[in-house]
């Protein structure tokens, strides 16, 4: 089975490296320098430096190069997924969504974006606790592979799995998506706490209370609680909130240290998806009547309505309540 990877960032390149172990891969990248590097140097020096890439990975900046692929992994930033999928004919091939976020302006999850752009495709979601550099360096990783068609999923899982990359099947696509989108926002909050030097107690509290917000939101959308408590929810949340190797946590840390969100987003080569997700996530939560105070606080901070110290004060001044209420 020939796989196509749509997106030549760190995560797309890491997934191509994993998939190339079991067969040929075609990687599409928007950046010509990335394509040149992979073809000539067998390395993506822009987004994943120091990782040697297999000769079985073909790279191109032409989407038509994906025409002969049997299945596609979409690894573009969430806000660009619709545009890229509409730019060529996906057809009825399996389409594995690896982007995490909610589309700004439309409130669409990535599965909804894909269903509208490629209505004949069989859609799956791959999500979980994954730092791209560790995956590419063959360090042990487990992920959720969510799809409605279990038989097809088993075929695709067998194609991308390896001893150190273990996909676990689920049929809860919404749960897998919600975890990946919400954890990015909560990682910003944990980064702010790190930037303010609030300590490990604060980080653990934010992870725990943030997970409660993730579950409330996910259940309201129809996700299952056990999915949210698995790799694509709690697992990804813990990883993303534990290291500044996370783009979202490092973005939050800079905010906590006094940086301006607008300036940070303009300067960054890579995308902190949580900054784009938080406005629509907060709006959805308000409209659905879902209480998400950490998300609301991050939204105000990213929008510039108050600074990090004020954000901390807002959270610490909330009324005391029952933990499970």
Task: From 48, 84, 101, select the one nearest 273 (Cα to Cα).
Answer: 101
What are the phi and psi torsion angles at 127 (to 5°)? -155, 155
User: Is 100 among the catalytic positions?
Assistant: no
Task: From 316, 272, 311, select the one nearest 295 (Cα to Cα).
Answer: 311
What's the angle, vertex CA 73, arms to CA 266 and CA 94, rounded to 5?
A: 140
What are the phi and psi torsion angles at 213 (to 5°)? -65, -40
- Beta carbons within 10 angstroms of residue 80's beta carbon: 14
What's the angle, vertex CA 217, arms to CA 212 and CA 218, rounded to 5?
A: 95
Q: Which of 32, 183, 253, 269 is catalytic?
A: 183
Q: Which helix (H) or strand (E) holds 212?
A: helix 200-221
Dihedral of alpha carbons 267, 272, 276, 281, sign: negative
Q: Known catalytic residues? A: 183
């Amino acid at each position: 089975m020939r796989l196509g990877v749509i997106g030549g960032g760190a995560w797309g390149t890491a997934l191509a490296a994993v998939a190339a172990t079991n067969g040929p891969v075609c990687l599409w990248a928007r950046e010509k320098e990335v394509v040149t590097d992979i073809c000539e140097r067998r390395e993506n020096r822009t987004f994943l430096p120091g990782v040697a890439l297999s000769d079985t990975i073909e790279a191109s900046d032409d989407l038509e190069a994906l025409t002969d692929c049997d299945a596609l992994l979409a690894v573009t930033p969430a806000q660009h997924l619709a545009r890229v999928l509409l730019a060529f004919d996906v057809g009825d091939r399996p389409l594995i969504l690896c982007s995490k976020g909610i589309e700004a302006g439309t409130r669409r999850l990535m599965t909804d974006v894909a269903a509208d752009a490629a209505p004949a495709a069989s859609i799956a979601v791959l999500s979980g606790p994954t730092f791209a550099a560790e995956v590419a360096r063959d360090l042990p990783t487990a992920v959720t592979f969510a799809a409605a068609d279990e038989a097809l999923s088993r075929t695709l899982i067998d194609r991308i799995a390896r001893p150190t990359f273990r996909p676990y099947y689920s049929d809860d696509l919404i749960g897998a998506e919600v975890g990946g989108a919400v954890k990015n926002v909560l990682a910003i909050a944990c980064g702010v706490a790190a930037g303010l030097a609030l300590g490990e107690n604060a980080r653990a509290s934010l992870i725990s209370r943030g997970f409660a917000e993730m579950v409330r939101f996910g259940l309201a959308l129809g996700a299952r609680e056990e999915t949210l408590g698995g790799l694509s929810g709690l697992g990804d949340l813990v990883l993303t909130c534990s290291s500044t190797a996370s783009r979202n946590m490092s973005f939050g840390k800079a905010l906590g240290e006094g940086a301006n969100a607008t300036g940070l987003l303009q300067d960054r080569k890579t995308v902190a998806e949580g900054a784009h997700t938080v406005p629509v996530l907060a709006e959805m939560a308000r409209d659905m009547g879902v209480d998400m105070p950490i998300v609301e606080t991050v939204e105000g901070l990213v929008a510039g309505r108050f600074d990090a110290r004020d954000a901390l004060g807002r959270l610490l001044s909330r009324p005391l309540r029952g933990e499970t209420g």
